[in-house]
């Protein structure tokens, strides 16, 4: 067994002075993290929403989470199918809502999104956003269309962020709304970019790819943990015109609807003797949801759209949603998953 495989074999409690848990060499404050993109960069420029991109984040201390995962950041800024702007004035709200309507739709049991990796780019993120989130334990999500782009991203993070200052880098090699087949680059990305990283690496798996094969590749190349799962590729059409509801056509389905899929993937990974730690995500909202994923074989769980998204009128209930998440945090902080 290699050193990389041995260090990743189990999630263990951190016995150092700093409380928390460890997934291999990834340090978490507890077993509850937040999913990529749902809270932007962990901080916003909007004075109304001082941190995070959801109004609910005003009522939840992000530094309490095991880690906060950023929006996926690329080498160059990308408008994607939305915008890089996050400092909207009140008078600009109608334009913002129109853009959201082309990139995010509530559907039965969840949400369909096609933001398309809209982000400010790695340089702007490291300069303007990361320094303001050091109180949080950060998982930086990075994405690209070649091994070379991932190497560039890793090198830039290495240069700007000392080892141990963040929890991990999450490699997003599985997004469905950028219209790219990641199967053709994933092995090269793992082989070239993982060894260069001064930070632990998490591989984010798609349920629409061969996730067992990708998990085994990750273990071979020294990846520290897996995120299971990314969104599920989906489509909705206007029943009157037959045109796609989203600007990109296809989008990523998240929320309660995909929880059975997420559970299936976690269980199948464990049944296939994948031993890397797993951060499970997909439809998690309550403590019972978390326990289901722990029973399936997860080592940590991640809150995504089921917890942070609401219909626009529903955001008036943000203090109540925030209280529910704070209660969940308290329960997870004192919870020990079942032994495997």
Please give the pLDDT value at position 221: 97
Rounded CA separation 269/204 (Å): 13
* Residues 238 and 207 sit within 8 Å (Cβ to Cβ): no
246 pLDDT higher than 70: yes
H helices of 37-185, where? 93-103, 122-124, 147-160
Q: Which of 175, 178, 263, 303 is catalytic?
A: 175
Please give the residue that has the higher pLDDT: either 17 or 198.
Answer: 198
Contact 284, 306 (CB under 8 A): yes
Edge-first strand listing for the sheet containing 232-234: 104-107, 110-113, 251-254, 232-234
Q: Is 175 a catalytic residue?
A: yes
pLDDT higher than threshold 70 for residue 52 = yes
Of the candidate ranges 145-149, 175-179, 181-185, 251-255, the one whose mean pLDDT is the lowest: 175-179
In the predicted structure, residue 15 carries a pLDDT above the cut 70: no
Token code pair at residue 285: 């909202």
Count of beta carbons in the 10 Å neighbourhood of residue 58: 14
Structure tokens belonging to residue 216? 């085994």
Predicted structure pTM score: 0.92
**Which residues, other chains included, contact 36 with Cβ-Cβ below 8 Å and sequence gap of 6+?**
69, 70, 71, 72, 139, 141, 170, 172, 204
pLDDT at residue 53, as a whole number = 85
Distance separating alpha carbons of residues 333 and 335, to the nearest angstrom: 6
Whether omega before 92 lies within 30 degrees of 0, making that bond cis, reads no
């Amino acid at each position: 067994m290699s050193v990389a495989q041995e260090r990743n074999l189990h999630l263990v409690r951190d016995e150092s002075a700093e409380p928390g848990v460890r997934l291999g060499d990834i340090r978490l404050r507890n077993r509850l993290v937040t999913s990529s993109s749902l809270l932007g960069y962990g901080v916003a420029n909007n004075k109304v929403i001082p941190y995070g991109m959801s109004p609910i984040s005003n009522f939840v201390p992000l530094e309490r989470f095991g880690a906060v995962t950023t929006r996926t950041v690329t080498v160059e800024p990308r408008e994607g199918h939305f915008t890089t702007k996050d400092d909207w004035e009140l008078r600009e709200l109608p334009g913002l809502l129109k853009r959201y309507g082309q990139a995010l739709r509530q559907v039965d049991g969840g949400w369909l999104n096609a933001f398309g990796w809209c982000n400010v780019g790695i340089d702007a993120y490291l300069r303007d956003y990361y320094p303001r989130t050091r109180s949080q334990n950060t998982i930086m999500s990075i994405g690209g269309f070649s091994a070379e782009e991932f190497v560039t991203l890793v090198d830039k993070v290495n240069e700007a962020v000392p080892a141990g200052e963040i929890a991990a880098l999450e490699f997003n090699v599985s997004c469905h709304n950028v219209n790219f087949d990641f199967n053709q680059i994933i092995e090269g990305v793992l082989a070239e970019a993982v060894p260069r990283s001064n930070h632990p690496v998490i591989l984010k798996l798609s349920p629409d790819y061969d996730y067992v094969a990708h998990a085994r590749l990750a273990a071979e190349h020294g990846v520290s943990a897996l995120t299971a799962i990314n969104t599920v590729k989906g489509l909705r059409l206007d029943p009157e015109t037959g045109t796609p509801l989203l600007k990109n056509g296809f989008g990523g389905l998240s929320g309660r609807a995909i929880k059975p899929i997420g559970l299936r993937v976690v269980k199948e990974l464990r049944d296939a003797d994948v031993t890397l730690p797993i951060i499970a995500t997909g439809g998690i909202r309550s403590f019972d949801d978390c326990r289901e994923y722990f029973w399936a074989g997860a080592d940590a769980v991640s809150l995504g759209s089921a917890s942070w998204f609401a219909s626009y009128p529903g955001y008036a209930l943000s203090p109540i949603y925030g209280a529910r998440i704070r209660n969940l945090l308290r329960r997870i902080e004192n919870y020990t998953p079942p032994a495997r």
